[in-house]
Structure 1
Amino acid sequence: MNYETFVDKVAQRARTSPERAVGLTRATLETLAERLTGGEVLDLAAQLPRPLQRILKPHPDTEAADRFGAAEFIARVGQRAGVDGNAARNAVRAVFTTLREAVTGGEFDDVVVQMPRDYRDMVEPALAPGAMRR
Structure 2
Amino acid sequence: MDHDTFIGQVQARARLDSRGAAEAATRATLETLAERIPTALAAQLPREVGEHLRRVATAPDQPETGLRMDHHVFLDRVATRAGAHTARAAHEARSVVEVVGEATEGGVLDRIRQALDDALAQLLFAGSTGSVT
The TM-score, its normalising length taken from structure 2, stands at 0.85
Instruction: Specify the alignment match of 2:86 in structure 1.
Output: 85
Instruction: Specify the alignment match of 2:104 in structure 1.
Output: 103
More displaced stretch, 13-22 vs 117-126: 117-126
Q: Deviations over 1:32-51 (max 9, x none)?
A: 10011xxx30x200101111
* Percent identity (aligned): 37
Instruction: Specify the alignment match of 2:127 in structure 1.
Output: 125
**How do 1:1-134 residues align onto structure 2 when only pairs under 5 Å count?**
1-16=1-16, 17-36=18-37, 40-41=38-39, 43-57=40-54, 58-59=57-58, 62-119=63-120, 120-125=122-127
Q: How many residues align?
A: 123
More displaced stretch, 58-67 vs 16-25: 58-67
- Distance apart, 1:31 and its partner CA: 0.3
Q: How far apart, in 1, do the equivalents of 2:99 and 2:46 lie?
A: 13
Partner SS for 1:124: coil
How large is the Cα RMSD of the aligned pairs?
1.9
Partner SS for 1:46: helix
Gaps of 5+ in 1: 129-134
Q: How far apart, in 2, do the equivalents of 1:122 and 1:50 lie?
A: 23
CA contact (8 A) 2:7 2:23 kept: yes
Q: Deviations over 1:68-111 (max 9, x none)?
A: 01111110010011110111001001001001000015111111
Q: How far apart, in 1, do the equivalents of 2:84 and 2:25 lie?
A: 9
The amino acid across from 2:3 in the alignment is Y
